[in-house]
Amino acid sequence: MSFLTLSNIKKSFGSVQVVHDFNMAIEKGEFVSFLGPSGCGKTT
């Protein structure tokens, strides 16, 4: 059983879909980071 599970995450900006059906399972004790250029919305 996962510590945290994300299922079917979607994100759109107006009519532009930028994320579609994102799934992720994080186990207890794991470290996860999101990488991307400055200003791309990592903290959103």
Structural domain that includes position 12: 1-30
Tally the domains of the chain: 1
**Amino acid 9: pLDDT:** 95
Asked if residue 17 is part of any domain, the answer here is yes
CA distance 38 to 2: 30
Percent of the residues in the chain that have a pLDDT greater than 90, as a whole number = 68
Looking at residue 44, what is its pLDDT?
66
Q: List, in order, residues 6 or more apart from 7 with CB less than 8 Å away.
A: 23
Within a domain: 13: yes
Mean pLDDT computed over every residue of the chain: 91
Residue 8 has pLDDT above 80, yes or no: yes
Residue 41 in domain: no
- For 10-36, what is the mean pLDDT? 93
Inside any domain, residue 10: yes
